[in-house]
Amino acid sequence: MANTISKPKLSGKDFLTLSHLSKAEILGLLDEAVALKKQTNEGIREPLLKGKVLGMIFEKSSTRTRVSFEVGMLQLGGEAIFLSSNDSQIGRGESIFDTANVLSRYVDGLMIRTFSHDIVESYAQHATVPVINGLTDTHHPTQVLADLLTIYEHKGKLSGLKLAFFGDGNNNMCHSLIEGAVKVGMDIAIACPAGYEPNQEILQQMKQEAEQNGTKVEYSEDPLDVVTEADIVVTDVWSSMGQEDENDQRNKIFTPYQVNESLCENVKSDFIFLHCLPAHRGEEVTAGIIDGPHSVVFDEAENRLHAQKALLKLLLEDGGIKHG
């Protein structure tokens, strides 16, 4: 990744999806994350965001997102404020227009973890400070930044690798993995049952970009069609937040897509396994895989902190990245 750009910049003030970034911008973020992680491991913490405050709006529960953003701001010398829809005027129906305008006068950036992607786009439209998508039902770009950082650390490269995803293709992780993989020159193959294919608009957009840079985006109902020679194996829970009432139905549908020892006999011998967590051992993945020698899920979870610190630094250090 080195020698991509000396001082990475983002083309807009917000971070909503990976599809809006160029390859150089993503690699620049990852280079920044590598540098910040090295400093952290050496006990160096520069107060790059001293006096800066990140407002964090949570309409979905969280462990890794909340802790990594809070710790990231603290390690960079700033602060973070947690705002739940249960104990703020957001939960009583205050409009996004009003909330975004008011909070923009208090904080230096907003991170939002919510349901509909339209919500985070509306905040970005009305806020005058940078807005970060901490997760929506359609996209999870901060997680995939950490995934790309983890892959680079363990494989020494990104371009030319093959990533295989198993499970619900119409899933925020799958969508952001498609975008991230194509942007950095990685092939991605998705195994999902009929009716659970990736969002067609996202899929077609990224397939067009893949054709231009020589990468592949494929999906199949047969896991064996996509698993062969994979460098990276990824899955996610079969029922995301808000889908709990579908658990029994989804467990029956997705059982053939479980990542297990038999499936992984078909991948490369040095493959790595990723899962954004939380995981349900015995459902989407067996304990032997997620707790086995190929799993890097805890490196991946740690890298949420370092990737997000890079993002926060680039968005907030100079008062936000300007358009253009």
Q: Which positions are catalytic?
A: 113, 140, 143, 236, 276, 304
Helices (H) and strands (E) in the chain, counts: 11, 9
Say how far residue 226 (Cα) sits from the centre of its chain: 22
**CB-based contact 107:319 (threshold 8 Å):** no
Residue type present at position 296? V
Task: Confirm or deny that 128 is annotated as ligand binding.
Answer: no
Task: Confirm or deny that 140 is annotated as ligand binding.
Answer: yes
Task: Confirm or deny that 143 is annotated as ligand binding.
Answer: yes
Tokens of 310: 């890079």
Task: Confirm or deny that 235 is annotated as ligand binding.
Answer: no
Residue type present at position 9? K
Task: Confirm or deny that 240 is annotated as ligand binding.
Answer: yes
Task: Confirm or deny that 213 is annotated as ligand binding.
Answer: no
Nearest in space to 233 (alpha carbons), one of 197, 263, 198: 263
Task: Confirm or deny that 40 is annotated as ligand binding.
Answer: no
SS3 236: coil
Task: Confirm or deny that 89 is annotated as ligand binding.
Answer: yes
Q: Can you name the residues that pair with 281 across neighbouring β-strands?
A: 285
Task: Confirm or deny that 236 is annotated as ligand binding.
Answer: yes
Task: Confirm or deny that 111 is annotated as ligand binding.
Answer: no
Cα 40 from Cα 130, distance rounded (Å): 25
Strand order of the sheet with strand 53-58? 79-84, 53-58, 109-113, 131-135
Task: Confirm or deny that 116 is annotated as ligand binding.
Answer: no
Task: Confirm or deny that 250 is annotated as ligand binding.
Answer: no
Cα-flanking dihedrals φ and ψ of residue 107, to 5°? -115, 170
Which one-letter DSSP state was computed for residue 51?
T
Task: Confirm or deny that 122 is annotated as ligand binding.
Answer: no
Cα-flanking dihedrals φ and ψ of residue 143, to 5°? -65, -40
Beta-strand relationship, 187-191 and 162-166: parallel
Binding residues for L-ornithine: 172, 236, 240-241
Binding residues: 62-65, 89, 113, 140-143, 172, 236, 240-241, 276-277, 304
Binding residues for carbamoyl phosphate: 62-65, 89, 113, 140-143, 276-277, 304
